[in-house]
Amino acid sequence: MSRIGRQTFVYDRPPVVAAHRCVAGQKEGAGPLRDWFDAILEDDLLGQKSWELAESEMVRRCARDALDAAGLSAGAVQALLGGDLNNQIIATSFAAKKLSAPFIGLYGACSTFVEALVLGAALIDAGALQNALCCASSHFCTAERQFRFPLELGTQRPPQASWTATACGCALLKGVGEGIRVTAGTLGKVVDLDISDANHMGAAMAPAVFDTLTAHLTDTRQTADDFDLIVTGDLGWIGRDLLLQLCREADVDMPEDKLVDCGASLYYKEQDAHAGGSGCGCVASVSCGWIMKRIEAGELRRVLLSGSGAMLSPTSSQQGQSIPGIAYAVCLEGE
């Protein structure tokens, strides 16, 4: 593996995505991407007695399906890398317990899935692992309970608020085989432009996405022209506009028709999701479905996938702190 620039790894022996699976909740399964999900939940509680157990069960099922698709037993997984938005990442760690795989718990808020891809690919390229299961999830009901208000309160949401997706995505990386190759990854820095409105995540994260995307392009000496698509997750409609504005101001060429945001693509506007989808599961499920399937179909060849997270907590918000953002990026290439 080579490290170029300040933040980017180039994988000399690019790991492949041997299998990927995505699950979405009912609202997400009624949106424009419904045909791209591998499974749509019939019941967002998955027969469990709490939303938290439901989210964990969603992770377990999605991971199992990805392993089945790759013909791998849970016992053969060399590392599970992932996390979720729940305090102390309980959805993922409880699923890791059931899978009994070596576990690398991550927290990058909604950037976690891409953080897992960057690290998983690095460990495979290094020969430390032969396979790595990268996953991230979110659940509307666990997130609302924890970050905002109990659902029963029926609190009105401002127009710039995003909607936490009930969804999970799992990608099994392997050192050898066929599939989409992960050819480069860029670590993110924590960037804070002093946004303190916890209902306006797109604004808090756009500067971090700008920072990481430009770091990736600069480090690898590429421009937007070198990619068929640049995917962000999850800025929503407003955050996507802010990213385009930051690019214009810095003279970074970012053609609007090449920039797709997972959160801005997940729901129809009539679905009342306001600024769009968010949550670790949004970028994870959309990239494991819509994006990777289009690469496999030959429709896209080179995709720059970024995942961004808002590193706030209810405590930091209540204490009046601003919202730091972070973003990671990977380059995905078709065969």
Binding region for its own copies (CB under 8 A):
1-3, 6-7, 9, 49-50, 52-53, 78-79, 83, 85-90, 93-94, 96-97, 100-109, 115, 119, 122-123, 125-130, 146, 187-192, 311-316, 319, 321, 324, 326
Pick the closer one to its own copies by CB: 78 or 278: 78
Distance in Å, CB of 268 to its own copies, minimum: 30
Contacts 24+ apart (CB under 8 A), 55-58: 55/84, 55/86, 55/91, 55/137, 55/138, 55/139, 55/142, 55/166, 55/168, 56/90, 56/91, 56/92, 56/94, 56/95, 57/95, 58/23, 58/91, 58/137, 58/139, 58/166, 58/168
Q: How far apart are CA 194 and CA 147, in angstroms?
A: 19
What are residue 259's DSSP bridge partners? 230
Name the residue nearer to its own copies (CB basis): 146 or 196. 146
- Minimum Å gap between C-beta 224 and its own copies is 22
Minimum CB distance to its own copies smaller for 78 or for 265: 78
In angstroms, what is the minimal distance from the CB of 265 to its own copies? 25
Q: Which residue number, 38 or 55, has a Cβ lying nearer to its own copies?
A: 55
Q: What are phi and psi for residue 201, nearest 5 degrees? A: -65, -35
Report how far residue 11's alpha carbon sits from residue 3's, in angstroms, rounded to the nearest whole number: 9
The residue among 271 and 313 lying less far from its own copies, judged by its C-beta, is 313
CA distance 194 to 200: 12
- Give min distance, CB of 316 to its own copies, in A: 5
How near is the Cβ of 18 to its own copies at its closest, in Å?
Answer: 18
